[in-house]
Amino acid sequence: MAKFAAFFQIFFLVSTATQICIATSYNVIDFGARPDGKTDSTSAFTKAWTVACNSKKKTTVLVPPGRFLVNSITFNGPCKNEIKLRILGTIVAPSYEYFLSHQAWIEFFAVNRLSIVGGTIDAKGSSYWSCKRGGNNCPFGARSLSLQSCNDVFISGLKSLNSQGVHVNINGCNNVTMQRLRIIAPGDSPNTDGIHIGNSNFFKILNSTIATGDDCISIGPGSTYMRMEKINCGPGHGISIGSMGGTPKEDGVHHIVVTNSVFTRTDNGVRIKTWAKPFKSFAEHVVFKNLEMRNVSNPIIIDQEYCPQRDCPISVNS
């Protein structure tokens, strides 16, 4: 009897712990999502996020195996505790025509202590690129994943496919680590930057593969203390700082390290680009170290008269 009582007590504790674990994980299917790639699951994702974000416990929003169609969605914070988006399946975007009034597909706003782990997001951007190449009246081109005003963020194992525009756009964020990312789009896809970062501080991008039609990583004004290590970049335009000096009173870029990385068939390796305008800005404390260039047109380039369009400003040096 004593052994049975002890066994029952252990079973009760394990069952209780399991229930607690289950109680802090919210599966989007339980909120109405369908893993068929055709049914709009946006509302289900929003409902699951709202419940998880309002929990006082650490919570997980689970996207199980399958394909989930999600339209433009914003996950708002702040949340009451740490929160994780765990993706085991694939989130797919609707046709680009849907994004006429949206510049982001999946957006996180003011979320702190956020983790995004695993899975695939597929923006199906090929029809949008065809629209752009045809010179048609196309929408802006939604960024696949956008983080705005988020702090203490960890992203690991995410695959981003065929973004309409920028794959991962980050603005006004602090203390972000991204690792083991795979960001993929054809080399001729227009403006499909892998990761763009602006006005953000304390970043690490590690052990990632980025193959796109634009910059693998672009670093905008106001970005500081960034480390990029073990990046496989190519095809694309390389890793760029700037363009800088485009507007008055622009914040500079400093303490940037790119190391132990490989560039393959890129237009550029590492680049710093500034406009030929009379505005003050700066890029300082920049380190490029242990970089391997394979069939790269411009391994290291500093362009102080950057201008990708007509009617360029007159050089301040002329």
Look up residue 196 and give its two tokens: 């763009």
285 counts as catalytic = no
Question: What's the one-letter identity of residue 193?
Answer: D
Q: If 0-12 CB within 10 Å is exposed, 13-18 middle and 19+ buried, where does residue 13 land?
A: exposed
Question: What's the one-letter identity of residue 34?
Answer: R
The DSSP symbol for 44 reads: H
Cβ count near 247 (within 10 Å): 11
Which of these is catalytic: 237, 254, 255, 285?
Answer: 237
Beta bridge partners of 176: 153, 203
d(CA 66, CA 168): 22
Closest CA to 89 of 58, 113, 49, 62: 62
* Residues marked as catalytic: 237
